[in-house]
C-alpha cells in the first residue's frame, strides 16, 4: 500500500494526500472539511444534480461540483470562499421556494440536511412571492411514505432502487419544477431492502410509516449495535426514547453492510419492546414459581447442577461472552451444548458485495460453533435421563420438547418465559441484546461489538453476568466485572478469538482466526 501513488492537494488551506480518482467531497472529509451536499452519497453512483457541493478550484473557470470532480495534483480548493458560499446560498434558496417549511410537523426535523445547511449558511428570509407548488402525499408501498412538497429531487432513492437494489421502482416523473419522484406503473417499494430510501433521503420527503409521528429526532438516544435478525451482522444504531426502542437504523461498515440494512432487520426492533418480560429470578416451590433473590436462585440452580451432566441449549443470538461461560459449565461436567437456527428465505442486496438477509436468522451461529456448540434442528433429542438442562432461549416453538421430561432439572436463562416449555425449576431473567454489552460473530467470522442501549427491566441482569455468577455458584472461579473481562478470558482460552480484544475490535469488528478477512461471495 505504501507504494500506491498519492495525489497532493490543498483543501481550505489544509494539505492532504489521497489516492488518485478520489472525489473532492471524500478528499475533503479526510482533510476534516465537510463540503455541503445532497445528492452525493458514498454508497450510490454520482449524479451531480443538487449543485450544493460547488466549490472554487483555483485556475478553474467555473465552480466545480465536488462530487463529480476528481482530485488533481497541486489543486487548491476553496470550500468557504465567497463565490462558493454565494452559489450554495442560491441553491438553498431555490430548494426552499417550493418547500412547505413545515419543520414543526416533519419527522425529519432535527436530522434534516436541508434544515442544517439552511441554518448554517442559507438566507434568513425568502424573496419568493409566488404560490408554492403542491402535490399530495403518496404511499410508496412497503414502509415508505412520499411527501413530494418536501422533496429536493436529489434522486438518491431512484439511484438506490435502480443501481443498488436492482429493482426499478422509482423514477423522476415530469420536468421542470413540476418534477416529482414517481413510481413505475404497478410497482411498489416491496423490495426486501427498500426502506433504505428513507435513510438515504436527506430531507423529510421519504418517511417510514412505522416511525411516522412517533418521536422527534432530538429526543432519541443513539447506541451502536449489531442487528440480530440474521447471520449477516449488519451494523446498526439502536434509537431509544424513555427506555423504549423506537427504531433501528443502519450504521455504515464497509466490510459488512455498506450503509444499509434490510427491512426485516429494521422492523426487528419491535421484538425488544414486547411486554411480559421476566423481571425477577424464581424457583419452583410447592406452590408453583416463587420470586426469590438472585443469590437464592443461583444457589438453587447450582445445587440442581451438582453431579449432573450439563445439557445446554442456547439461542444462537446469545453473545460470544455468554456462550464462552456456558461452555465452561458444560465442559466441567462433560456436558454438551447445542443450538437451533431458525431459517427464512434469503434476500440479497445485489448492488452491494456479499450483503443479504441470510437464510440463517440468527446472529451468532458462527460464534457458537467456534465456542464448541453443535448445531442441531432437534437440540433436545439427545437429553439423557438425569441430565440438567440449561435453556438460554426465549423461543422454543416448534422444538422437540418431548425429551425435556427426562431432564433432572430445567434451568432457564431468558428475557421472556419460553412459551410451551413444560417445566422449569429455576428461572433467571436476563437482559436482551439491546440491554447488554457483548460481541457477535457473523457468518464471515467477523466479531463485532454491541453496546447497551437501554436498561433491563426489574432485576434482569446481563446474560454474561448471570452465566458468570452461575459458574461461580458451582465453585468455579469466575470473577468478571465487565463483558470486556469475559471477552479477554475467552480470547485467552479459544484459539479462534486469540489476539482480539474490545480495544482492537473497535466499532467495525475484526475477523476471527481462520475466517477469510473481508470475504466476498
Partner 1 sequence: MGYPHKPHPRETVVLSEHFGAAEARSLDGWKTRGGYQALQQALGMEPTAIQQVVKDSGLRGRGGAGFPTGLKWSFMKLGDGKPHYLCCNADESEPGTFKDREIMRWTPHALIEGCAIGAYAIGAEDCYIYIRGEFTEPLEVMERACAEARAAGVTGPNAMGSGKTVNVWVHKGAGAYICGEETALMNSLEGKRGNPRIKPPFPAVAGLFGMPTTINNVETLAAVPHILNKGAEWYKKLSRPDNPKSTGTKLWSVCGNITRPGNYEVQMGFPFGEFLQDLCGGAPNGRKIKAVIPGGSSVPIITWEEAESALMDYEGMVAANTMLGSAGCIVIDDAQSMPKVIARLARFYAHESCAQCTQCREGTAWTTKILERIVAGDGTAEDFDTLLSIADNMTGKTICVLSDSCATPVVSGLQRWKHEFEALITRTTIHAVPALVG
Stretch that binds partner 1, among 46-54, 138-146, 215-223, 463-471 (CB under 8 A): 46-54
Which candidate, 481, 514, 485, 516, places its Cα nearest to that of 497? Answer: 514
Smallest gap from Cβ 160 to partner 1, in A, equals: 17
Nearer to partner 1, 102 or 219 (CB): 102
102 binds partner 1 (CB under 8 A): no
Binding to partner 1 by residue 128, rule CB under 8 A? yes
Chosen residue from 41, 51, 156, 361 binding partner 1 by CB under 8 A: 51
Q: Does 118 bind partner 1 (CB under 8 A)?
A: no
How far apart CA 334 and CA 322 sit, in angstroms, is 18
Our finding on whether 82 is near partner 1 (CB under 8 A) is: no
* # of chain residues touching partner 1 (CB under 8 A): 39
Based on CB atoms, which residue is closest to partner 1, 31 or 91? Answer: 91
> Which of 40-48, 103-111, 238-246, 504-512 is the region at the interface with partner 1 (rule: CB under 8 A)?
40-48
Does residue 50 bind partner 1 (CB under 8 A)? yes
Where in 165-184 is the site for partner 1 (CB under 8 A)? Answer: 171-172, 174-179
The answer to the question of residue 423 lying near partner 1 (CB under 8 A) is no
Q: What is the dihedral of CA 462, 464, 470, 476, to 10 degrees?
A: -150
Nearer to partner 1, 46 or 215 (CB): 46
Q: 89 vs 308, which CB is nearer to partner 1?
A: 89
Could you say which of 15, 21, 104, 131 contacts partner 1 (CB under 8 A)? Answer: 131
Is 101 a binding residue for partner 1 by CB under 8 A? The answer is no
Contact set for partner 1, span 323-342 (CB under 8 A): none
Considering the complex, what minimum distance in angstroms separates the CB of residue 8 from partner 1? 21
Q: Which is nearer to partner 1, 171 or 406 (CB)?
A: 171
Closer to partner 1 by Cβ: residue 97 or 296: 97
Where do we find the cell 461452555?
A: 327
Residues 6+ apart with CB under 8 A from 360: 230, 231, 316, 341, 342, 343, 443
SS (H, E, C) 477-517: CCCCCCHHHHHHHHHHHCHHHCCCCHHHHCCCCEECCCCCC
Phi, psi of 373 (to 5 degrees): -90, 155
Q: Which stretch binds partner 1 (CB under 8 A): 83-91, 199-207, 350-358, 487-495?
A: 83-91
DSSP 3-state assignment of 133? coil
The 3-state DSSP class for residue 320 equals: helix
Out of 1, 82, 129, 521, the residue judged to bind partner 1 by CB under 8 A: 129
Q: Let me know: does 64 contact 24? Beta carbons within 8 Å.
A: yes
CA distances from 420 to 275, 357, 417 (A): 17, 28, 9
How many angstroms separate the CA atoms of 449 and 469, rounded? Answer: 22
Q: Quick check: 36 binds partner 1 (CB under 8 A)?
A: no
- Examine residue 125 and tell whether it contacts partner 1 (CB under 8 A): no
Contacts of residue 101, defined as CB under 8 A and 6 or more positions apart, other chains included, come to none
Kindly report the backbone phi and psi dihedral angles of residue 162, in degrees, each rounded to the nearest multiple of 5, phi listed first. -80, -50
Query: Alpha-carbon dihedral of residues 139, 140, 144, 148, nearest 10 degrees?
Result: -70
User: Nearest distance from residue 135's CB to partner 1, in Å?
Assistant: 10
Q: How far apart are CA 126 and CA 484, in angstroms?
A: 54
In the range 144-163, which residues lie near partner 1 by CB under 8 A? 152-153, 155
Radius of gyration (Cα) for the chain, nearest Å? Answer: 27
Q: Going along 23-95, which residue ranges are E strands?
A: 54-57, 64-65, 76-78
Return the bridge partners of 146, or none: 138, 206
By C-beta, is 178 or 287 nearer to partner 1? 178
Nearer to partner 1, 98 or 318 (CB): 98
Residue 15 engages partner 1 in binding (rule: CB under 8 A): no
Q: Which is nearer to partner 1, 39 or 411 (CB)?
A: 39
**Pick from 91, 355, 411, 483: which binds partner 1 (CB under 8 A)?**
91
Decide: is 66 part of the binding site for partner 1 (CB under 8 A): no
Q: Does 130 bind partner 1 (CB under 8 A)?
A: yes
Cβ contact 469:293 at 8 Å: no
For residue 163, CA distances in Å to 47, 167, 380 come to 12, 8, 46
Q: Which residues bind partner 1 (CB under 8 A)?
A: 46-52, 54, 62-63, 65, 68, 87, 90-91, 93-95, 97-98, 100, 127-132, 134, 152-153, 155, 171-172, 174-179
Amino acid at each position: 500500500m505504501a507504494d500506491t501513488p498519492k495525489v497532493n492537494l490543498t483543501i481550505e488551506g489544509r494539505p492532504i494526500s489521497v489516492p488518485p480518482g478520489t472525489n473532492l467531497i471524500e478528499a475533503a472529509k479526510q482533510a476534516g472539511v465537510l463540503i455541503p451536499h445532497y445528492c452525493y452519497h458514498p454508497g450510490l453512483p454520482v449524479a451531480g444534480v443538487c449543485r450544493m457541493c460547488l466549490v472554487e478550484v483555483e485556475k478553474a473557470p467555473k465552480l466545480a461540483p465536488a462530487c463529480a470532480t476528481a482530485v488533481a495534483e497541486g489543486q487548491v480548493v476553496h470550500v468557504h470562499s465567497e463565490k462558493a458560499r454565494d452559489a450554495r446560498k442560491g441553491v438553498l434558496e431555490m430548494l426552499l421556494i417550493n418547500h412547505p417549511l413545515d419543520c414543526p410537523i416533519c419527522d425529519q426535523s432535527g436530522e434534516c440536511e436541508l434544515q442544517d445547511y439552511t441554518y448554517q449558511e442559507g438566507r434568513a428570509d425568502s424573496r419568493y412571492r409566488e404560490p408554492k407548488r403542491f402535490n399530495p402525499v403518496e404511499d410508496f408501498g412497503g414502509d415508505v411514505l412520499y411527501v413530494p412538497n418536501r422533496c429536493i429531487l436529489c434522486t438518491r432513492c431512484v439511484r438506490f432502487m435502480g443501481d443498488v437494489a436492482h429493482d426499478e421502482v422509482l423514477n423522476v416523473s415530469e420536468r421542470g419544477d413540476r418534477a416529482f419522484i414517481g413510481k413505475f406503473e404497478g410497482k411498489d417499494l416491496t423490495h426486501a431492502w427498500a426502506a433504505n430510501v428513507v435513510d438515504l433521503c436527506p430531507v423529510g420527503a421519504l418517511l417510514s410509516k412505522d416511525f411516522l409521528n412517533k418521536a422527534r429526532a432530538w429526543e432519541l438516544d443513539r447506541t451502536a449495535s449489531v442487528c440480530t435478525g440474521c447471520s449477516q451482522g449488519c451494523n446498526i444504531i439502536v434509537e431509544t426514547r424513555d427506555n423504549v426502542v423506537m427504531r433501528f437504523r443502519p450504521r455504515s461498515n464497509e466490510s459488512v453492510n455498506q450503509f444499509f440494512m434490510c427491512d426485516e432487520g429494521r422492523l426487528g426492533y419491535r421484538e425488544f419492546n414486547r411486554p411480559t418480560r421476566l423481571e425477577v429470578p424464581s424457583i419452583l416451590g410447592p406452590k408453583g414459581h416463587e420470586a426469590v433473590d438472585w443469590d437464592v436462585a443461583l444457589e438453587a440452580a447450582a445445587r440442581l447442577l451438582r453431579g449432573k451432566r450439563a445439557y445446554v441449549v442456547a439461542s444462537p443470538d446469545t453473545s460470544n461472552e455468554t456462550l464462552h461461560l456456558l461452555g465452561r459449565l458444560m465442559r466441567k461436567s462433560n456436558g454438551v451444548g447445542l443450538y437451533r437456527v431458525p431459517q427464512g428465505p434469503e434476500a440479497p442486496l445485489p448492488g452491494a458485495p456479499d450483503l443479504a438477509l441470510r437464510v440463517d436468522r440468527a446472529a451468532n451461529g458462527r460464534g457458537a460453533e467456534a465456542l464448541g456448540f453443535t448445531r442441531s434442528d432437534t437440540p433436545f433429542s439427545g437429553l439423557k435421563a438425569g441430565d440438567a438442562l440449561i435453556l438460554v432461549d426465549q423461543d422454543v416453538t416448534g422444538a422437540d420438547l418431548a425429551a425435556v421430561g427426562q431432564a433432572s432439572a430445567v434451568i432457564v436463562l431468558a428475557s421472556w418465559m419460553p412459551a410451551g416449555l413444560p417445566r422449569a425449576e429455576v428461572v433467571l431473567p436476563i437482559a436482551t441484546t439491546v440491554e447488554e454489552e457483548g460481541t457477535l460473530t457473523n457468518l464471515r467470522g467477523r466479531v463485532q461489538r454491541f453496546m447497551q442501549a437501554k436498561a433491563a427491566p426489574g432485576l434482569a441482569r446481563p446474560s454474561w453476568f448471570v452465566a458468570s455468577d452461575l459458574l461461580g455458584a458451582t465453585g468455579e472461579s469466575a470473577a468478571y466485572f465487565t463483558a470486556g473481562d469475559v471477552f479477554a478470558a475467552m480470547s485467552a482460552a479459544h484459539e479462534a478469538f486469540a489476539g482480539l480484544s474490545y480495544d482492537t475490535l473497535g466499532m467495525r469488528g475484526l475477523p476471527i482466526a481462520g475466517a477469510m478477512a473481508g470475504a466476498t461471495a
